[in-house]
Amino acid sequence: MPLDLARLAPRTTAAREESNAAPKLRTAVLGAGMLGIDLARRLIGSASLDTPLVAGREGSSGLRQAARMGCVISTSGIRAVLDAHVDIVFDASSAEAHPAHWAELASADVMLIDLTPSSGGTMVAPTVNGFRVETHRHLSLVSCGGQAVLPVLNVVAKHSTVNYVEVVTTVASASIGPATRNNLDEYVATTGYAVRRLTDAATTKVLATISPALPAPAFRAQITALADGINRDALIAGVESVASAVRAFAPGYEVTALGVSGDRITATVTVAARGGCLPAFAGNVEIINAAAVTLAEGYANSRRA
Ligand SMILES: NC(=O)c1ccc[n+]([C@@H]2O[C@H](COP(=O)([O-])OP(=O)(O)OC[C@H]3O[C@@H](n4cnc5c(N)ncnc54)[C@H](OP(=O)(O)O)[C@@H]3O)[C@@H](O)[C@H]2O)c1
């Protein structure tokens, strides 16, 4: 069942005024690092989600920045989140910490959106998955690479029989924190699992490069797929259409070099950060945080309707 994009689409003035009158949903962000601080900044700008509690741990230096942005902060991590009785929790800490966070929150009336590659929840990308987010309480956003390639691979799988998929991502070193570096194995495993589940390919390969080059390179994902029965025209039109749908929440999303030759399909996805205070090369942060806020706002709008 396709995701109900209507609930994610821009709302009419009347609907917006009505929804602005309803109380915003309360939010919390676990982790005050590269991802968590950008996410908090995006939530502060949301019409349907409240300024988040940002919960880190003792010594988390990003908490000072969150406080300067106007967020309530805590060094007590998940304990502070439980005490705050929020509606939506975003986990931007680490893949190791996430299972304990879900264990604590599973019996609370809360939606948990996991931005770490721990792969515990229902995997979702806004333009791909077919379900109404409000029926799920534990969402996994897979990874930044997953958010970049799954929309394209969903179209590829609809218009061919996929045998093999290779995804090679490049991120700038300056756009990732220590937890991302520590979670590289989880990134490869979770992204590969999501690609296999979506495409039914017998074999998948995910490779990741962290580039220290200067100037910092843009976030990029190179897709190669081997497939039978390719409907070339439908595939190309479908990719153009889904790229436009992703741009509705991540405006720097582009699919270039889309090609079909024999049984080989190739595409390059680049994401430039256009929102918030991120440098343009940090599209990896933008694509997953923009997806998280889009899904949360869709959930909030359905709750507030
Ligand atoms: N950066 C990206 O492009 C990106 C994209 C998609 C997904 N991710 C995933 O998102 C996660 C965070 O990445 P990042 O780049 O933001 O890393 P980061 O800069 O190291 O941020 C992680 C933050 O979480 C805090 N933390 C760790 N365990 C915690 C716990 N149990 N409770 C509360 N806070 C905790 C850390 O505290 P300290 O400051 O004390 O260490 C740090 O502030 C990783 O799992 C990564 O794989 C990252």
pLDDT digits (tens, 9 = 90+) for 24-71: 999 999 999 999 999 999 999 899 999 999 999 999 999 999 999 999
Give the CA diameter of the chain.
58
In the prediction, which pLDDT does 20 show? 54
Report the percent of the chain where pLDDT is more than 70: 92
Active site members: 144
From the alpha carbon of 95, which atom of ligand 1 is closest?
45
Q: Are 156 and 210 in contact (CB under 8 A)?
A: no
In the prediction, which pLDDT does 302 show? 87
In the prediction, which pLDDT does 9 show? 32
Beta 253-261 vs 264-271: how paired, if at all?
antiparallel
Q: Any residues with CB less than 8 A from the CB of 60 and at least 6 apart, and which?
A: 31, 32, 33, 75
User: What pLDDT band is residue 177 in, cutting at 50, 70 and 90?
Assistant: very high
- Using the predicted structure, report yes or no on whether residue 238 has a pLDDT greater than 70: yes
**Rounded mean pLDDT of 265-289?**
95
**Rounded mean pLDDT of 70-86?**
98
Q: Are 120 and 102 in contact (CB under 8 A)?
A: yes
Q: Is the C-beta atom of 95 inside 6 A of ligand 1?
A: yes
**What residue ranges in 63-218 does DSSP mark as E strands?**
72-74, 88-91, 111-114, 122-123, 138-140, 161-172, 203-211
Q: Is the C-beta atom of 32 inside 6 A of ligand 1?
A: yes
Q: What is the mean pLDDT of the chain?
A: 92
DSSP 126: T
Which residue has its alpha carbon closest to ligand 1 atom 21?
Answer: 33
Q: Is the C-beta atom of 180 inside 6 A of ligand 1?
A: yes
- Using the predicted structure, report yes or no on whether residue 204 has a pLDDT greater than 60: yes
Q: 46: closest CA among 304, 305, 298, 293?
A: 293
Distance 126 CA to ligand 1 centre (A): 22
Q: Is the C-beta atom of 285 inside 6 A of ligand 1?
A: yes
Joined together, the tokens standing for residue 60 give: 């988390």
User: What pLDDT band is residue 5 in, cutting at 50, 70 and 90?
Assistant: very low
Encode pLDDT of 96-139 as tens digits: 999 999 999 999 999 999 999 998 899 999 999 845 677 889 99
Distance 261 CA to ligand 1 centre (A): 40
Which residue has its alpha carbon closest to ligand 1 atom 6?
Answer: 144
Does the global pTM surpass 0.85? yes
CA 102 to the chain's CA centroid: 18
Domains of the chain from N-terminus onward = 5-142+285-304 (3.40.50.720), 144-281 (3.30.360.10)
Q: How far is CA 111 from CA 242, 273, 299, in A?
A: 26, 26, 9
Q: Which residue has the tokens 């950008």?
A: 38
Distance 142 CA to ligand 1 centre (A): 14
Q: Is the C-beta atom of 283 inside 6 A of ligand 1?
A: no
Distance 158 CA to ligand 1 centre (A): 34
